[in-house]
Amino acid sequence: MKLTAQEEYGLRCLLRVAKEGAVSSLTIPEISEKEGISSFYVAKLLRILRRGGFVRAARGASGGYQLARPPEQVIVGEALAVLGGRLYDPAFCNEHAGSESICANSVDCSVRSLWQAVQTMVDRLLSRTTLRDLLADEQHMSCWADDLVKVSELAGPLAPRY
């Protein structure tokens, strides 16, 4: 399971552009300075985000990067997918099965089942989270996260079904 630097920094760049709003744009050097990321890396991340349809670029003296759509229409899970992928990929088991390959080929691997369940929950959360949500202050996001936990608790405890 992983969250890559590309996903983390890419999301930070996307949020920085979103904070600027629809009326203004940010250049690569401005984003680089505000986020403490090299200009080269910011350019790479913005290229990925532009190709994914999350930002648009304008050339010229007043050019820079803006969101391609309103923040409430930008799903965080989709942006992370463009930037790198998922926390858990079933192919991981094929690559890291240990000294015996039985885990990678067994339907009885409880660890793999755990990571798949975690990925499912993460996917659900990220598919419900927009940039607008992330633009809120930390206190608002904390309340938002608490509400999500309460909703999931209403569904009942997670317990193995034997």
- Using the structure block, give the residue that is written with the tokens 């079933």: 90
Determine the average pLDDT of the residues in 98-115. Answer: 63
Can you give the pTM of this predicted structure?
0.78
Whether pLDDT at 92 is above 70:
no
In DSSP terms, 64 is beta-bridged to 58
Look at residue 37 in the predicted model and tell me its pLDDT: 95
- Using the structure block, give the residue that is written with the tokens 């000294």: 99
> Looking at per-residue confidence, does 153 or 14 come out higher?
14
Determine the average pLDDT of the residues in 91-105. Answer: 58
Token code pair at residue 58: 């304008």
Go through the domains of the chain in sequence order and give each one's CATH number.
5-154 (1.10.10.10)
Determine the average pLDDT of the residues in 26-54. Answer: 96
Chain segment 59-84, per-residue pLDDT in tens: 877 789 999 999 999 999 999 999 98
Least confident of 2-11, 84-93, 104-113: 104-113
Q: How many CB atoms are closer than 10 A to CB 52? A: 16
Considering the chain, what is the average pLDDT of its residues? 82
Chain segment 10-35, per-residue pLDDT in tens: 999 999 999 987 678 999 999 999 99
Largest CA distance in the chain: 65
Whether pLDDT at 126 is above 50:
yes
Determine the average pLDDT of the residues in 97-124. Answer: 70
Whether pLDDT at 123 is above 90:
no
